[in-house]
Structure 1
Amino acid sequence: MRMINKVAVLAIAGATFVGAGTAYAYWNATGTGSATASVGTAANNLVVTGLSATTLTPNGPTSSVSFTAQNPATFNQRISKIHLVSVTAYPTPLDRTNNTNPVTACGTVNDGSLANPGSSVSASRDFYMADVVVNSVDGDVAKSAAAQVLTTTGTMLMNDALFDQEACKTTVLKLTFSTS
């Protein structure tokens, strides 16, 4: 074999060896692992305030109730429903502000669990407001909101009760709500 042929054979063998060295291979593997994370909880400190647009009278016209929400938390919170829990009557606005001298003979509430607010059970209660469903946009209360206005409104009525409601006359009402 001549020298040129030997060099050619070595060159081809070397190129083949280098090419084989650049081949690509990989393995598929499976495995398991774990990690930890935490999720916050609702602060449950929303304050919903309602304002009745008109004066209520027994069996009189209903009153639209508008709402604002306060959220002292540092994150948004959501309201999906507003429920009238109680009505407390006071003789004056100052008494209402100071929570003094409540008129105990006025302020019973149909809790909204009755389908017919005009039923005889409702007639043994002074006031009624159906649960208010809050839409998703309105119900997103911004973090640190002082008085976010909700466009959702409720409708409140004063029942014509089966008892004397004279104690309710000219009182100032405090409405207490729960939210979910």
Structure 2
Amino acid sequence: MWGFNLAKFLKKVGAELIVTDIFEENVKRAVNELGSKAVKPDEIIGADCDVFAPCALGAIIKDDTINKLKCKIVAGSANNQLKEERHGDILQQKDILYVPDYIINAGGVINVVAELEPGGYIKEKATRKVEALYDAVLEVIEIAKKENIPTYKAADRLAENRINLLAKVKSTYIK
């Protein structure tokens, strides 16, 4: 489902789509509704593309797949896309930008929290908060470049800094 929603959005903004899925009906839907090009699951990792967006299978970036990548960016919603952290180091060496899955997936969490807020769900408010993730991704990229570290480490550093800041605020105001 998430992959199809992403594909719909990307198609709307003019992207050419190459898709796959282990369920043939999902591939047919993407081809029929979005004009996507279909490939077999074992061919997607080597697809010549700008962005590789794994949205289902975790640990897709691993020793036997990483050298097949022909993309500039890896950014999808699948959890734990890197089989091991060192694969993030390799992506950096290959000059492939990796956007950690937990930043991308934060939008879903933000939306769920918005559904639980007193007064009910306000789509515009939730959308504004989700759109702020763009700035978080830019900040991760900036940290990675500045400190010459892979983006997965930069994202962890950003998250740790925010957690520490919140802990300081909490300890100052809540006693």
Higher RCO, Cα 8 Å, sep 6+:
1
Give the TM-score band, short-chain normalised: under 0.3
TM-score normalised by the chain length of structure 2: 0.22
Larger Rg: 1
**Structure in which a larger fraction of residues adopt helix:** 2
**Structure in which a larger fraction of residues adopt strand:** 1
